[in-house]
Amino acid sequence: MRRGQVAVRVVGPLQWVVYPALLAIALTIALATPVELFGLKLPEPVLPMALAFAWPLIRPSMLAPAVLFGLGLFLDIFWAGPLGLWALALMGIYGVVLISRSFLVGQETHVLFVWYGLGTVAAFILTYLISTLLAGNAPSVLSLLGQVLPTLLLFPIAGRMIERFDDGDVRFR
């Protein structure tokens, strides 16, 4: 007599943590190239912000915050900012979403977008205030908006990751 077997699609950390992190690094470097189209430069969104929002909703783990911290340090070094600034902002977003996970899991997309927008704006306000204190003068608000808006437009990436990987491994249900 054979037992019924259930097909289990196992999604490991390579698929939902490592590959997106490497892609975020590659796209950050690619978007920093000095290319101008019609007199406009390429946007420089904070790509790991989408990961910081999606990862705690997909599956809390020990690997994701460590990778986020590394991505934040990469951004600090790459953009020549204060070391730990973006790591703090990304870890803050991860922590808030992780604490709110029981409320956010299963919510509709527009609710998740509002939370993503609030988290993104809070992270940018935090980094703006810290940069102002460290530099002694306020950075350009237009430059800030030029980075906030493209980062907000990254929500479909976070939403797609949540949809794709949320049901990726039924062992965690």
CATH number of the domain where residue 150 is located: 1.10.1760
Tokens 């102002």 sit on residue: 132
Task: Judge whether 38 lies within some domain.
Answer: yes
In-domain check, residue 151: yes
In a domain, 127, yes or no: yes
Show the domain range for 41.
13-172
Q: State residue 172's pLDDT score.
A: 46
Total domains present in the chain? 1
Average pLDDT per 10 consecutive residues for the chain, totaling 173 residues: 56 82 95 86 92 91 93 96 94 95 89 96 96 91 93 93 70 46
Which two structure tokens, joined as six digits, stand for 123? 């992270």
In a domain, 7, yes or no: no
Query: Does residue 2 form part of some domain?
Result: no
CA distance 121 to 131: 15
